[in-house]
Amino acid sequence: MNVLAIGCHPDDLEIGCYGTLAKYVKLGHNVSVCHLANGNLGHVEIMPDELRAMRFEEAENAAKVIGAKHYSVDANDLYVTAEDDGLVNRLAAVVREVQPDLIITHYDHDYMNDHMQTYYAALRASFGASLAHYDLNATTPTAPVCPIYHMDPVAGTGFIPTEYVDITDTIDLKLEALACHKSQIVWMRDHDHIDFLEFVRTCSRARGFQCGVDYAEGFRPNLNYLRMTTKRLLP
């Protein structure tokens, strides 16, 4: 299968679903990751232009850890909106190139607007990518409308999974990929006294308790028309 994960900021997918993505890769599937926002406002001291370049490189390195292909739509933080035709068009181009059999993205009741808008942009772009006349300048073929799965928000707040993936064998890869985001991890450790790697491990452990394994990630399928399937697509 071709799997496309669409996150907002450069570390969101690592937090929410990289254990599952690493598992897909181990099983021989093709995995691509795409973030919409460039993360340029994610630091108190590092200025936006410098941070933008830094966070792109961190995301590239994280994708390499699990063997995924990395894309960026490069919108500035707080400017992610599904009403931005240019952003949606750039994301649709990624969808056409990847030809996904399923998409993993944010929950529509996530804790911040950029995350929620990422889901709506993914919904709009993936449908637009299926239309031959949506982008007359496109050089890639249309992509079929595919199922969408919503990943856990940070700390799982307000999210009740209906499906789980056992990531016991990929939890270390997940954390290794997340650790690539030094601009975030080091800052939180040194200035906020938060061990974010341990935080994410603990959240994965809690989901594991819920489904009877050591570590897990939780998901909900999107229930919109044309997005459902009779198949188990999660690994």
DSSP characters for 85-141?
Answer: HHHHHHHHHHHHHH--SEEEE--TT-SSHHHHHHHHHHHHHHHHTT-TTS-TT--S-
pLDDT of residue 187: 83
Query: How far apart, in whole angstroms, are the C-alpha atoms of residue 168 and residue 23?
Result: 10
Per-residue b or e along 39-57, where b marks 16 or more CB atoms closer than 10 Å to that residue's CB = bbebbeeeeeeebbebbbe
Half-sphere exposure of 92 (CA within 13 A, CB side): 29
Both tokens of residue 72?
């960026």
| Predicted confidence (pLDDT) per residue in 48-68, tens digit | 999 999 999 999 999 999 999
Q: Which of 4-8, 48-52, 84-88, 165-169 has the lowest mean pLDDT?
A: 48-52
Predicted confidence at residue 192, as pLDDT, reads: 76
Average pLDDT value over all residues in the chain: 95
pLDDT for res 94: 98
> What percentage of the chain reaches a pLDDT higher than 70?
100
The letter for the amino acid at 202 is: T
Rounded CA-CA distance 125/120 in Å is 8
Residue 204: per-residue pLDDT: 98
When pLDDT is cut at 50, 70 and 90, the band that residue 191 belongs to is confident
Please tell me the distance from the alpha carbon of residue 112 to that of residue 24, in angstroms, as a whole number.
Answer: 28
Contact 33, 71 (CB under 8 A): yes
pLDDT value, residue 194? 85
Quote the percentage of the chain above a pLDDT of 90: 90
pLDDT at 193 over 90: no
Cα→Cα distances 106→11, 133, 189, 204, 216, Å: 13, 27, 25, 17, 17
Element (H, E) at 165: strand 163-166
**Residue 172 pLDDT more than 80?**
yes
Residue 188's pLDDT is what?
Answer: 82
- Residue 219 phi, psi (nearest 5): -140, 160
The pLDDT assigned to 177 comes to: 98
Distance, CA of 80 to CA of 113 (rounded, Å): 8
pLDDT tens readout for residues 123-145: 999 999 999 999 988 999 999 99
Question: What confidence tens digit (pLDDT) does each residue in 83-121 have?
Answer: 999 999 999 999 999 999 999 999 999 999 999 999 999
Tell me the pLDDT band of 26, cut-offs 50, 70 and 90: very high
Average pLDDT over residues 178-189: 90
- DSSP, collapsed to helix, strand or coil, labels residue 181 as coil
75 touches 37 (CB < 8 A): yes
Residue 37's H or E segment, with its range, is strand 30-37
Averaged over 184-190, what is the pLDDT? 85
